[in-house]
Chain A
């Protein structure tokens, strides 16, 4: 398995400010992702964090609002920019690792609970 940590675990922010969430994986992984989740609901993919190149964003998400970095194979950041109350959500980092059996496995961090006032 992969151990994924996120910082901060939660934060309360003012409208108009930005927050950067950090994600650290305990070993090298092939792919990293950022998801958003409303409490009790399913996951929505924001983007795939590409190592050494720009992230790949899903429909409805743009780089100016959610800039992402991935400087190496174990670390990524997601910034929520110019926040509004609608950005209040749980943000989850995820990493995919290839196995020797050929079946990839995707793991999740504990999430960052963001509240925007």
Chain B
């Protein structure tokens, strides 16, 4: 069974601070996706990473896929209250044919 552990589980920081969320597994994934979910809504896709070592930036968010494609990180610079939400990583071993394995989730709260 593939497991994706996210850390921290909960994070509450002041506006303007930086933070990193980690997504770790002992399994290799062919691709990994990051989602953000706000209360009352479904998860919204932020990014997909597919190459070991790949780094993608989305404004103040930086996503990295581990060299061995077993882990990923999400770094937020100068966090804003709008970044508040549940962050989920999700990995696929063979994305065309297999279901996603979702991480345990990180609930982020940015305090104004």
Contacts and interface: CB of A to CB of B under 8 A. Distances in A.
Contacts of B44: 108
B72 interface: no
Interface string A98-109: 100001111111
Given A40-B107, A45-B99, A98-B96, A103 B43 contact: no
Given A40-B86, A42-B103, A106 B45 contact: yes
Given A40-B86, A98-B96, A106-B33, A92 B103 contact: no
Interface of A: 1, 4, 33, 39-43, 45, 48, 92, 94, 98, 103-111, 113
Interface residues of B, number: 25
Given A40-B86, A41-B105, A43-B88, A48 B99 contact: yes
A110 B88 CA distance: 15
Contacts, number: 51
A33 B96 contact: no
B38 to A, nearest CB: 10
B50 A103 contact: yes
B105 A111 contact: no
A56 B38 CA distance: 29
A97 to B, nearest CB: 11
Contacts of A40: 86, 105, 107
Contacts of A110: 40-42
B19 interface: no
